[in-house]
Structure 1
């Protein structure tokens, strides 16, 4: 039987499905009889409940279940016969009126996947970055390791606070003479010169001695996270209760051994740090170049999106946002009034990119190869103390392997795009690549 597919809108289609009423009735009766074998009811032995009682209690739900199953099966067969690539779930509704020739009629409204056409990749312009780990980066990382193990001792009373010192202060801030929420604390500690406070605050405390007090103005940035004070100027009164100077451990054999390097040699420490940094740099460079390739790829496509897929992706993003709020300890995160519309642009971008990537993968055989998956997992595992256990952890779970496969495929696509596009190479400094984390 030929299937008639109506076009309702860009990607929206409709198919009318016909199901024999007697077939549905027979299936409902069969399921009710099967259900009667285990149904319990007052006044009847198990399995002896009359069929009309079972039908009265469960008839509607069984009929609903049967119609869903049969209509779903009929839709799948019709879509396959019509060679349709269905996006999302169909919306199925029964046509009103009595059965025609013993047939019940159902309308299935659904969307199909768009035809994805990608413009010539040679027209894309992409900046590809490279970066190297130099001695300065290694020195900085070792300094961070030393700071993580530093101790503090009280600074002499005659000496003021300098960068690296830990100060304990009382403070109170006022705007137009009025205290504001979060503007007061006692026994508050922070490290001078390490970006834990606004620069103007640190500048005021720098040089103060134990027992000193000072009043100073502070202008909050326009983009300050505290919306009530952003862009406003406050007056702060600060009293220093204690100033402690830091003591960094020396690069001794014992210090190196405490980091897990058995020979205790500084050269071994530097080599280990370099390996770790090179691995991190490799991942960051790949991620940056992949993002650039994907951005260029999006500029080469223009097609309609199945709104069912956009809505589903928006729901995932919304759930992810709620999970993030919950992880941060926000009460009633699952009920937070987060408008779904705020995720629509991101959802549209992700769906468009996903369809584009899928088209490139299919057309150019860019699927992940087993050896690529193994190599990626091995590389991920090298940053852990027991790599073999990490490899086994990935290999034992399909979901984790699917995530690895997605990353590898994206890498294959990025490499393919970069091989075809007009590429400008740029050497990026280590500090610029690592961003704020390098300055931690």
Structure 2
């Protein structure tokens, strides 16, 4: 976009700034505030004009895009093509715009919706899982069994020579956890505290170390101790840890089932939403503004740094763009498609759903009413929740036209991530 600005607007702004500067400029041989204007212009004129140009071009650009009803994506680049005192300024603004998104038919979206019931056996299995999570280990003098925790020293030898990363002392290992390469943990089963043994194993073909892929090695192992897993009893003390104060077993099971139902609902909702978004992304193909993609890449970089605890000493820009580009493109595309659906069908945040979402979040805190009041008095937090609710409303809107097929499955399969389902 080429933009013209009258000379008077630029020159007037330059003169104003120079007069302001004249009042505070200090130069040898002149009293404060008495430096001649010609000297101020000679010394500071170019710098002041450049400063004014930056402001004028930015303001004129905003006026121009509003006049032309354009939607810039990202920051523009400016280049002054005519820039002489006393003459009209002319500059070129280079920028990307949001594309016009033509919505595809929503009946092209296909969704497989999990349908599952929570059986009594599922509840019992969940209780066993809770017991496992609160298990403790006790030292035993018998031979190690699968499920035991052993403390071991080991040294790996390849062709009789120790190899890097193949040795450790005092390492705890749960037998059957699959933490070590195939054959390693099985070789320890049956060993007693104080026993030493050599085991022969072969590294997998897909092992990360090129030198060890598919290689046969020997591990010299010493078992220092064996500990058996002790599961807690489902008694009053155990139930109290989960909010059941009176130790009533049926109430405890009801509470477990309630939590499982919430988990199932969230899992099904998440899988359906993921499929809807996949369908929308596949159904729409248009050029993306690179500025939007870069914004998404920067957001994902920062998110990864937070997840891995990156501090100020680590620069997020060191993470390569290509690591995030494909996901960033998908996210940017979906953002534009969702916005187009919201605008075309005039979908606004449902106040009742927003309130329900706020209350659901607040219910996890000791004083939920205080959190509810805080969210509604904090526009930024409220806007985030409204955005999440709007996404859910878009999903519901798409589902009205999408091809939805229900698929019965077990509770365990229904709550698994999609990429882990059989």
Q: Specify the TM-score bucket, using the shorter chain as the normaliser.
A: 0.7 to 0.9
Structure 1 match to 2:19: 33
Summarize deviations over 1:285-321 as a string: whole Å, max 9, x none: 1111101011111222121211222222223333434
Summarize deviations over 1:59-109 as a string: whole Å, max 9, x none: 54443332122112212222222222222222210115757x821110112
1:339 equivalent in alignment to 2:320: yes
1:161 equivalent in alignment to 2:144: yes
Question: Is this contact kept in 2: 1:322–1:336, CA < 8 A?
Answer: no
1:408 equivalent in alignment to 2:389: yes
Structure 2 match to 1:424: 405
3-state SS, counterpart of residue 201 of structure 2: strand
TM-score normalised by the chain length of structure 1: 0.84
Distance (Å, rounded) in 2 between the aligned partners of 1:83 and 1:24:
25
Query: How many angstroms does 1:253 deviate by?
Result: 1.5
Structure 1 match to 2:303: 320
Query: How many angstroms does 1:394 deviate by?
Result: 4.0
Change over 3 Å in CA distance of 1:250–1:335 after alignment to 2: closer
Q: Select 1:188's aligned residue among 149, 168, 171.
A: 171
Structure 2 match to 1:255: 238
Structure 1 match to 2:225: 242
Change over 3 Å in CA distance of 1:434–1:209 after alignment to 2: farther
Distance (Å, rounded) in 2 between the aligned partners of 1:272 and 1:50:
84
TM-score normalised by the chain length of structure 2: 0.87
Q: Which structure 1 segments of 5+ residues have no match?
A: 1-14
Query: How many angstroms does 1:17 deviate by?
Result: 0.9
Change over 3 Å in CA distance of 1:190–1:27 after alignment to 2: same
Question: Is this contact kept in 2: 1:90–1:110, CA < 8 A?
Answer: yes
Question: Is this contact kept in 2: 1:322–1:334, CA < 8 A?
Answer: no
Distance (Å, rounded) in 1 between the aligned partners of 2:30 and 2:226:
84
Query: How many angstroms does 1:373 deviate by?
Result: 1.5
Change over 3 Å in CA distance of 1:39–1:338 after alignment to 2: same
Q: What is the number of equivalent residue pairs in this alignment? A: 418
Q: Which structure 2 segments of 5+ residues have no match?
A: none
3-state SS, counterpart of residue 218 of structure 2: strand
3-state SS, counterpart of residue 286 of structure 2: coil
Summarize deviations over 1:326-366 as a string: whole Å, max 9, x none: x168x953177432233222222111111111111111233
